[in-house]
Structure 1
Amino acid sequence: MLLISLVQLHAADPVIGWLGGTADSFEGYTLVAPGSSTTTYLIDNAGRVIHSWQSNYRPGLSVYLLEDGKLLRSGKVLATPADMNTGGWGGLFQVLDWDSNVLWQFQYSDDQVQQHHDVEMLPNGNVLVLAWEMKSAAEAIAAGRNPSLLNNNQLWPDHIVEVAQTGSNSGEIVWQWHSWDHLIQDFDPTQQNFGVVADHPELADINAIGNAGSDWLHGNSVDYHPELDQIVISARAIDEIWVIDHSTTTSEASGHSGGVQGMGGDLLYRWGNPQNYDSGSAADRWLYGQHCVEWIPPGFPGEGNITIFNNGTGRPGPDFSEVLEIVPPLNSTGGYDPSVGGVYGPEAPVWIYSDPDPGNFQAGFISGTRRLFNGNTIICDGPTGLLFEVTPELEIVWRYEVPVSNGIPRPQGTPIAAGNSLFRTQRFALDHPFLAGRDLTPGVPIETYLSPADPDGDGDVDLTDFSCFEQHFTGSGSGTGLPLFENAAGFYFDFDADGDVDCDDVDSMELIWTADPASFPGIPGCDLGEVFLRGDASDDGSVNIADAVAILQHLFSNGTLNCLQSADINDDDSLDISDPIALLQVLFGSGNTIPAPSGVCGMDPTPGDLTCEASICP
């Protein structure tokens, strides 16, 4: 178990990647799909890469690791149509296996429709696709749209299609729902959908005040509830979430009857801004430019409730973001009852996270949230690429900043001003069934390091770094000094990954010291070990035929070696028959040379029977 505790960062601490955490963090693997990158990463709680997937596309925008270990990844294939002038465009989705092989790719993008923002895998293997569809100015006006609210003579309302796979690059639309089929308006009495908006909360007012651009609703999130067979949608531009019935046929979904709830494709439930259906008042409004609406899964604390990332854009007073958890007013039949006055409840969320200083947490766009199995909530501040985890008591227990900017992993110590956005994230338990039998050996972090002992990333291993190292020194497991993993910097000083920052690690740090060697402070009781001579497997001070014999005896006759590293002739981090062969070639004039002992030690044990500290003989 990795034990870490959050502390205030100082000059030598990381500014990207893993920024710290506590033992109250939910131990697991976190999915990170940087918006500017074609790579998707799975990292552990210390920011080390467990696995990664490669795609030909940047996210467009959602990426999900599925319950069977496959990756569902939307992708950007076309720029936003010129008449749209909005964000979130994509165009296709892919299903990748663990090794990045594309099992299925489906493009939904042309001059009439375009996938955007989100997709959702259904239990039957079909995929829900959130998409725009183009309506001309004439069509919009015929639907009662106020011409003054038209932009570029087009309107792009949202719709959802369910796609079943028919081939590796094809699919069949087996169900669809269109917001365009469920409109009301009180602007143009000559149109068929003219009516009293307040009397029809199951319909969407086409003139609801929101985004006056072509992207009228700006749907940005879709989630599915398998037991209810319902879909929830986030309509950001009108500051509202909607629930619709998926049990309908496509024909029923285009009308106002049918399905389990008998309402066809009409809205079963809506929340966040009741003034959209001419009910309530400004005091009843909760949502401002929200993203990422999800039902909490069964077995998780709060199951059946809905979480929402409320961006807070355009709220009265200064903008600030918050995460909301609401209890929808679900009745015994799976429908939703409005409260007195026709406003759908609840009156207030059951749980809210916001920063005590609102100015510290304000994400103007994208972003997401998800409930974790232990009751904590992971939050994605999308524009800054900052992930953090909070307890039910609102304590931050883990922090991580995406270290990829404009598609390139950045060096530690360099703050990222822009270009490292993240749409949302997931975290899975260490023992999740789909992980069974997979190689989960931690690798290096996503961010780059000029040296593992250079936490401030300035290119020098010097007194500044040693000061931080000394704070994390724990001796030889005696518990002296500060706890290992007090923050992210402490993790990177454990060169041999044995769970202690001890004398062996002091040796490693001295070997890669870049300042004046005489200035290395050292730690009392820790002396640099004997530096080995590569090739001197017999430990007699010279390299000769006896060394090749010693290696062969070790490999085939249980012979012992005083220093395993000295026998790794070809420096491939393992001992095998290639090493005595390489030594004989050197001894008998092949022209080969023996690599010098490495002075830089990685952060994890190397393969085979060598230790990480490749330049020290224990």
Structure 2
Amino acid sequence: MRTVFCILILLGFLILPSCAKEEAPILPEEEVVVEDPGIEEPADPMEEPPVYMGEIQTLNANLVYDGLILVNDAGNNRAFLMDKEAKLVHEWPLSNKLGNDAFLEADGRLLASLETDDPKITLGGQGGILQFIAADGSIEWNFNYSSEAAETHHDAELLPNGNVLAMVWERRTQEVAANAGSNSQVDIFPEAIIEVDPNTDEIVWEWHAWDHIIQDYDITKDNFGDVAANPQLIDLNYVTIANGDIMHANGLAYDAVKDVIYLSVNFFHEVWVIDHSTSTEEASGSEGGNYGKGGDLLYRFGNPQAYKNTAGERLFRNNHFPNLLQDDHLGNMLIFTNGAELEQSTVYELQLPDVFSLEPNTDNEPEVVWSFTDPDLYAPKVSGAVLLPNGNRMIAEGDYGIWEVTEAGEVVWKFSAPGFFWRAYHYDNDAPEIMALGL
């Protein structure tokens, strides 16, 4: 009996390890199935592959500011959002060719300047149509302002009251121009600005450069006077050009605090400051408005030579995008000067005066607080710059693409593609404009 009991105990020791060996492999088998990193989810057959809008160079990833970019590519007639990988996020179908500017508003609508089907004034940057375009491409407002007499062009801006500011070319026949003292031998196209109520299409305010001209060319004609002594007036003969485009404004900005308009005038290489607080009647003269000067220029900067001023340094050569800044840079403006005969473009940040003063034979130029250039930065046309939330600047180089540079001037990111890039606007991923699109 004792022998049998010993044999049973011995068999128990032999059986227990055997059971453990049978159960031990179960846990590893379950772990392999659950945690295997090599298993990939099958691709969604309905998901479209990403579309990339060009090539990028990331030169310092740690300093690149994330976000989305609204690109106005007039060369390919496209207005689209992309990310910093150049991946297409959204594109608006356009009913007409892009006139130049398209800007995303806080409610998700695009305010766009488009070319009319049958333009009557065919200068560079022509337009004739303003539209509000919804995210799906549906047109919520269409304003056609194109005739032999006048046409919208280049740029437009939504005002806080819901109205739209737009630039206009106005035709003055050769005969009318000659009587005004013009030395041009063709019809000419001076600038005007209109304010339109989109609810009624009524023009509720307007300003005309023609009401504020001076000339020292012909004493027998109208508007004769001393150009240098009257910096508030516009020299009718500063530019003589075969097609009559004597001013070629290309961008505007509205300052709601001061109630003034900044107009970038490319062929004068200047920015003009105009009082918006006037009535239309006051804007045609030299009295009235918050500043008491009617529609005369309150201030001008960039090229003292345009009004025969011997003081002050010329900064601009074919300037674009007078971009008023906010927050810590309030009171400053970013602006792109193409460089023209220098074949070298520069971006300036200027500190604008709190009080506008425009005196003859005086240095009236604002202070340069930041600038950037590079041997590779040169676009003879269009272009512009915006300030990013981290202090970087994003620069649209018209015939190349987009740069991102730090405040210290380090180039940290580039985008390039075949196109003609009017401007590039930054939006944070959670900006109201982006959220309103419902992407």
TM interval, short-chain normalised? 0.7 to 0.9
Distance 1:243 1:211 in 2: 24
Per the TM alignment, residue 373 of structure 1 is displaced from its structure 2 partner at its CA by 2.0
| Residue 149 of structure 2, aligned match among 109, 112, 117 | 112
Distance 2:360 2:128 in 1: 42
Per the TM alignment, residue 81 of structure 1 is displaced from its structure 2 partner at its CA by 4.6
Partner of 1:23: helix, strand, or coil?
A: helix
Q: Answer whether contact 1:210 1:237 (CA < 8 A) is retained.
A: no
- For 2:427, the equivalent position in structure 1 comes to 428
Higher strand share: 2
- For 1:398, the equivalent position in structure 2 comes to 413
Per the TM alignment, residue 42 of structure 1 is displaced from its structure 2 partner at its CA by 1.0
Read off the aligned partner of 2:432 and give its amino acid letter.
P
Distance 1:353 1:279 in 2: 26
- Describe how 1:174-193 pairs up with structure 2 within 5 A: 174-193=204-223
Alpha-carbon distance change, 16 to 166 in structure 1, aligned in 2, over 3 angstroms: closer
Does residue 19 of the first structure (1) align with residue 48 of the second (2)? no
Where in structure 1 are there 5+ consecutive unaligned residues? 1-13, 403-415, 441-618
Read off the aligned partner of 1:401 and give its amino acid letter.
S
Distance 1:229 1:269 in 2: 13
Distance 2:360 2:187 in 1: 38
- For 2:31, the equivalent position in structure 1 comes to none
The 4+ residue runs of structure 1 with deviation greater than 4 A are 78-82
- For 1:68, the equivalent position in structure 2 comes to 107
Q: Answer whether contact 1:309 1:324 (CA < 8 A) is retained.
A: yes
Q: Answer whether contact 1:78 1:90 (CA < 8 A) is retained.
A: no
Distance 1:73 1:237 in 2: 24
Q: Residues 58-93 of structure 1: CA distance to partner in whole angstroms, max 9, x if unpaired?
A: 2101110112221111111246657x6x31111101
Does residue 287 of the first structure (1) align with residue 307 of the second (2)? no
| Residue 256 of structure 1, aligned match among 286, 289, 298 | 286
Alpha-carbon distance change, 212 to 36 in structure 1, aligned in 2, over 3 angstroms: closer
The range that moved more, 184-193 or 249-258, is 184-193
Higher Rg of the two aligned structures: 2
Does residue 330 of the first structure (1) align with residue 354 of the second (2)? yes
Read off the aligned partner of 1:36 and give its amino acid letter.
G
Per the TM alignment, residue 275 of structure 1 is displaced from its structure 2 partner at its CA by 1.5
Read off the aligned partner of 1:88 and give its amino acid letter.
G
Partner of 2:161: helix, strand, or coil?
A: coil
- For 2:158, the equivalent position in structure 1 comes to 121
- For 1:312, the equivalent position in structure 2 comes to 339
Distance 1:211 1:117 in 2: 19
Partner of 2:282: helix, strand, or coil?
A: helix
Distance 2:242 2:362 in 1: 26
| TM-score normalised over the length of structure 2 | 0.83
The range that moved more, 285-294 or 210-219, is 210-219
| TM-score normalised over the length of structure 1 | 0.60
Distance 1:321 1:437 in 2: 35
- Describe how 1:168-207 pairs up with structure 2 within 5 A: 171-207=201-237
Q: Answer whether contact 1:59 1:76 (CA < 8 A) is retained.
A: yes
- Describe how 1:545-560 pairs up with structure 2 within 5 A: none
- For 2:395, the equivalent position in structure 1 comes to 379
Q: Residues 146-179 of structure 1: CA distance to partner in whole angstroms, max 9, x if unpaired?
A: 2xx33xx201111111110235xxx111110000
Distance 2:241 2:410 in 1: 35
Partner of 1:252: helix, strand, or coil?
A: helix
Alpha-carbon distance change, 328 to 339 in structure 1, aligned in 2, over 3 angstroms: farther
Read off the aligned partner of 1:60 and give its amino acid letter.
G
- For 1:87, the equivalent position in structure 2 comes to 124
Per the TM alignment, residue 17 of structure 1 is displaced from its structure 2 partner at its CA by 3.2
Read off the aligned partner of 2:337 and give its amino acid letter.
N
- For 1:162, the equivalent position in structure 2 comes to 195
Does residue 352 of the first structure (1) align with residue 371 of the second (2)? yes
Q: Residues 192-212 of structure 1: CA distance to partner in whole angstroms, max 9, x if unpaired?
A: 422111111110010114645
State the Cα RMSD in Å.
2.1
Does residue 130 of the first structure (1) align with residue 167 of the second (2)? yes
- For 1:586, the equivalent position in structure 2 comes to none
Per the TM alignment, residue 55 of structure 1 is displaced from its structure 2 partner at its CA by 1.3
Q: Answer whether contact 2:320 2:337 (CA < 8 A) is retained.
A: yes
| Residue 343 of structure 1, aligned match among 339, 360, 363 | 363
Q: Answer whether contact 1:76 1:91 (CA < 8 A) is retained.
A: yes
State how many pairs are aligned.
387
Alpha-carbon distance change, 211 to 306 in structure 1, aligned in 2, over 3 angstroms: farther
Distance 1:273 1:439 in 2: 45
Distance 1:137 1:41 in 2: 41
Alpha-carbon distance change, 39 to 311 in structure 1, aligned in 2, over 3 angstroms: closer
Does residue 216 of the first structure (1) align with residue 232 of the second (2)? no
Q: Residues 439-496 of structure 1: CA distance to partner in whole angstroms, max 9, x if unpaired?
A: 44xxxxxxxxxxxxxxxxxxxxxxxxxxxxxxxxxxxxxxxxxxxxxxxxxxxxxxxx
Q: Answer whether contact 1:232 1:294 (CA < 8 A) is retained.
A: no
Read off the aligned partner of 2:357 and give its amino acid letter.
D
Aligned-residue sequence identity (percent) comes to 36
| Residue 277 of structure 2, aligned match among 242, 247, 252 | 247
Q: Answer whether contact 1:307 1:325 (CA < 8 A) is retained.
A: yes
Distance 1:210 1:243 in 2: 23
Distance 2:270 2:241 in 1: 13
